[in-house]
């Protein structure tokens, strides 16, 4: 296993009373690339690619997450870790006003996993108002020839810290496996949208 961590990185967390709450999770699956994710049932989704998840409209802060998988022309190896990390940070550096605040990379078996948290400046508003600063949590995973990318964004500061626990949950529940198998016992079967229970007492929709 290889692990590369930025010693200056930080994992800030809001106070428990300031955290968003949700009642359960829905399943999104990409059968072609064999990846899936659980996301809060209160969030809306717009099919892509990429899949776009949006926080509830009545939430105190807006937030989005995009999810996308693609097949690469070559197989990624664990030894590619440093090269991939450098390329990802170089790409982020080309974004207007981008500053990397946390970087983490590791390889476990055939999985190569990169995470970067960075800020950037939004485009200037038409009325000449100064650009606002956004914060993005980017996770890019490679399993052989499949790239699985998640990007969570909100305004820098209180908004992002409010949503950090939800972002963390979704990032950690993105897997190279089928969440519906937890219920059905079978992976990657074509499914219509139907009720599926994920976790005790929770009924969710499986998106096939």
Q: What is the CATH number assigned to the segment(s) 2-6+22-207?
A: 3.40.1000.10
Collapsing DSSP to helix, strand or coil, 46 comes out as strand
Q: In 3D, which of 118, 136, 141 has the Cα closest to residue 68?
A: 141
What's the pLDDT score for residue 144?
A: 97
Least confident of 22-31, 73-82, 144-153: 22-31
Beta-bridged to residue 133, according to DSSP, are 121
Give per-residue pLDDT as tens, 107-152.
Answer: 999 999 999 999 999 876 666 678 899 999 999 999 999 999 999 9
Q: From residue 73, how far is each of 68, 76, 190, 192 by CA, in Å?
A: 16, 10, 26, 30
Fill in the DSSP letter of residue 200.
T
- The residue extents of the domains of the chain are 2-6+22-207
- Please, are residues 153 and 136 in contact by the beta-carbon 8 Å criterion? yes
């Amino acid at each position: 296993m290889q692990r590369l961590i930025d010693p200056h990185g930080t994992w800030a967390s809001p106070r428990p009373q300031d955290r968003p709450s949700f009642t359960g999770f829905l399943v999104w699956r990409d059968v072609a690339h064999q990846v899936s994710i659980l996301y809060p049932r209160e969030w809306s989704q717009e099919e892509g690619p990429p899949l776009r998840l949006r926080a509830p409209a009545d939430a105190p802060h807006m937030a989005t997450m995009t999810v996308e998988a693609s097949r690469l022309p070559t197989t990624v190896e664990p030894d590619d870790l440093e090269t991939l990390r450098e390329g990802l940070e170089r790409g982020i550096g080309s974004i207007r006003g981008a500053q990397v605040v946390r970087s983490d990379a590791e390889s476990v078996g055939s999985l190569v996993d990169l995470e970067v948290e960075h800020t950037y400046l939004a485009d200037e508003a038409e009325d000449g108002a100064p650009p606002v600063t956004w914060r993005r949590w980017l996770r890019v995973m490679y399993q052989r020839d499949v790239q699985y990318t998640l990007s969570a964004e909100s305004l820098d500061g209180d908004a992002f810290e409010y949503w950090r626990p939800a972002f963390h949950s979704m990032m950690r529940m993105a897997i190279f496996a089928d969440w519906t198998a937890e219920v059905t016992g079978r992976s990657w079967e074509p499914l219509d949208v139907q009720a599926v229970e994920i976790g005790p007492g929770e009924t969710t929709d499986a998106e096939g």
